[in-house]
């Protein structure tokens, strides 16, 4: 995602390329957010907080 953001920033003057890279960035962002929302939660036990 950082790559697409950098490409968009580098092409701020070229409206066509700027829109193209922003669109790609948006699609990737929403795809990742969707994956995070639908991924199984992972938990780690904190050291020293064992329940007996």
Evaluate whether residue 21 is within a structural domain: yes
Domain range for 25: 2-37
pLDDT tens digits in sequence order for the chain, 52 residues long: 888 888 888 989 999 999 999 999 999 999 999 999 999 888 888 887 666 5
Looking at residue 49, its pLDDT comes to 62
Evaluate whether residue 44 is within a structural domain: no
Evaluate whether residue 14 is within a structural domain: yes
Looking at residue 27, its pLDDT comes to 94
Sign of the dihedral defined by the CA atoms of residues 26, 27, 30, 36, in that order: negative
Looking at residue 23, its pLDDT comes to 93
- Rounded Cα distance between 28 and 22, Å, is 10
Evaluate whether residue 46 is within a structural domain: no
- Rounded Cα distance between 47 and 37, Å, is 27
Evaluate whether residue 22 is within a structural domain: yes
Looking at residue 3, its pLDDT comes to 86
Evaluate whether residue 29 is within a structural domain: yes
């Amino acid at each position: 995602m950082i790559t697409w953001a950098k490409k968009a920033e580098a092409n701020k003057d070229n409206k066509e390329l700027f829109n193209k890279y922003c669109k790609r960035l948006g699609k990737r962002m929403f795809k990742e957010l969707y994956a995070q929302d639908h991924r199984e939660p992972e938990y780690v036990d904190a050291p020293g907080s064992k329940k007996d």
